[in-house]
Structure 1
Amino acid sequence: MSEKVFVAGATGAVGTALVALLIDAGYTVYGSTRRADRAAALQAQGVHPVVVDVFDADALKAALLRIAPWAVVHQLTDLPKDLNPARMAEAAALNARVRTEGTRNLVAAAQAAGAQRLVAQSIAWAYASGPKPFTEDQPLDVYAQGTRRVSVDGVMALEQAVLGTQGAHGITATVLRYGQLYGPGTSTAEPKGAMPLHVAAAARAALLALQRSTGGVFNIAEDSAEVSSEKAKRAWGWTADAPRA
């Protein structure tokens, strides 16, 4: 029987690419969505749909106890697809709630269900000012202001819930600090920002983290002067130009 993987956020840009890779690799995939009308699309992909809200801690725990997954992947976000600047303050607050409360609930459910591996999506542009390219041992921007402060606080809460002293005990836990996503399901088809990352390369990193990671934080972005992804390249053989689905 193949290992079971629960993907939280299976209908998102990275989640959609990831479930295809997981199925191709022989895993049995369970994918969550908050919307019942998306369940059929997941099923058509070969995914076992799980309609659950990450903010409903009891329902989420019950779902994972029923599934008993070997691994849990956190690809949840709450951002408008068009990234309209007029909505970014609201979006930052909603996304921060996913990263704080949602992550906390997901980690607790994964532990209760006996999951052995956990991979969670973070971001690579939350570093404090310092030498570039940024590496994983550099501090995050704890002095950020405004909307950026909301985002950075959410990131720190996510990473603490996954890796911190109150984090996922007994689970091999990995945080992926993704660059700025582009490609199918995102707001742009072309690279953008100082740390671009194609969704297919992001999904490939999540698969490799499940299969090869011994835990910790990894930058995942295309080569640039801003951020270094050498750690993931050395540890897993990940490359940003992996075949794009």
Structure 2
Amino acid sequence: MRVLIAGATGVLGSLLLPALLSDGHTVVGTTRHADRRRAILDAGGEPVAMDALDPASVAAAIAAARPDAIVHLLTDLSGRDWAGNARLRVEGTANLVDGALEAGVDRMIAESVSWRYEPGERPATEDEPAAVDPVTGGPVYAPVESLDRDLARMPHGTVLRYGLLYGAGTWYAPDGMLTREAGAGRVVATTDHTSWIHVDDAVAATVLALDWPAGAVNVVDDDPARLADWGPVLAERGGYAGDALELVAGAPGRAADNGLARSLGWSPSRPSWRDGLGLD
């Protein structure tokens, strides 16, 4: 296939590009920054400029790339810019889907999150409902649900609900922001209950997903955990040796079940976060 990666210089995108090339695909990668074009070229891809928040820019990039499929890995998490990331997930996704449909591209894969489910003790399968705010009655993760609705407009849209990403280049790498904070005695988590996935396993699943059916697929490892379990491990690996570790979770969250992904031919090479969190 000819594949357009939207977000080709991010943590996942920069690893996915060579993985797709080695699988025989031709890859075009988008970037907003002229100084990142060289990284795409050096990896063997074709760079194309794109501002995901500008519909005309998105349409032009898709027209130039002429893809058979689009992989949507756009995020804006530098400095924990949650509002910017939410805007990209809502407006950027809508622009990508609109541009794809206009250009006649029928296949898109998009990055999402596995902790979006209604809280519960049992790992959630893909048909579990989304978490709802008890006060407003609306979804807790509204931008994530917006992405789902937009991908459903595609003739063939696949949403990959990744667990928390760890490994090289992530916040949980040895030099990652959250590992450093944990080493200083404070661990802040999006949710208390979560599933993990190593970046290499996330990339492997994304390559395979070009042939997966439409719909949502959880891409997580086999070892869901509570913050009280993984937080001290990360802190120790970050160098913390005190006895007053602060653990802060923003929401209850939910672990996810990876049975569907396994049935589609994928399995994690890193079954547990315990083998690499804060180490690689």
* TM bin (shorter chain): 0.7 to 0.9
User: Kindly, what percent of the aligned residue pairs are identical?
Assistant: 39
What is the TM-score when the length of structure 2 is the normalising length? 0.75
- Structure 1 residue 142, shift from structure 2 partner: 2.3
- Change in 2 beyond 3 A, CA 1:162/1:102: same
Greater C-alpha Rg: 2
Which residue identity does 1:155 align to in structure 2? V
Which residue identity does 1:224 align to in structure 2? D
- Structure 1 residue 145, shift from structure 2 partner: 7.5
Which residue identity does 2:214 align to in structure 1? G
What is the TM-score when the length of structure 1 is the normalising length? 0.85
Q: Which residue of 2 aligns with 1:238?
A: 266
3-state SS of paired residue (1:6): strand
Separation in structure 2 between the aligned mates of residue 189 and residue 61 of structure 1, nearest angstrom: 35
> Do 2:9 and 2:40's aligned partners in 1 also have CA atoms closer than 8 Å?
yes
- Change in 2 beyond 3 A, CA 1:155/1:33: same
> Do 2:52 and 2:92's aligned partners in 1 also have CA atoms closer than 8 Å?
yes
3-state SS of paired residue (1:73): strand
**Runs of 4 or more consecutive aligned structure 1 residues displaced over 2 Å after TM superposition:** 189-194
> Do 2:21 and 2:44's aligned partners in 1 also have CA atoms closer than 8 Å?
yes
3-state SS of paired residue (1:240): coil
Which of 148, 158, 162 is the aligned partner of 1:159? 148
> Do 2:5 and 2:13's aligned partners in 1 also have CA atoms closer than 8 Å?
yes
Structure 1 unaligned residues grouped into runs of 5+: 81-86
Separation in structure 2 between the aligned mates of residue 28 and residue 12 of structure 1, nearest angstrom: 18
- Structure 1 residue 51, shift from structure 2 partner: 1.5
> Do 2:132 and 2:140's aligned partners in 1 also have CA atoms closer than 8 Å?
no
**Cα deviation per residue 1:56-95 (whole Å; 9 max; x = unaligned)?**
1111101211222000000111112xxxxxx64xx22111
User: Equivalences for 1:168-207 in 2 at 5 Å?
Assistant: 168=154, 171-189=155-173, 194-207=194-207
Structure 2 unaligned residues grouped into runs of 5+: 180-188, 225-254, 271-280
- Change in 2 beyond 3 A, CA 1:63/1:151: farther
- Structure 1 residue 126, shift from structure 2 partner: 1.2
Q: Which residue of 2 aligns with 1:213?
A: 212
- Structure 1 residue 130, shift from structure 2 partner: 2.7
Q: Which residue of 2 aligns with 1:84?
A: none
Which residue identity does 2:159 align to in structure 1? V
3-state SS of paired residue (2:126): coil
The alignment's C-alpha RMSD in Å is 2.4
Separation in structure 2 between the aligned mates of residue 227 and residue 61 of structure 1, nearest angstrom: 35
Q: Which residue of 1 aligns with 2:111?
A: 121
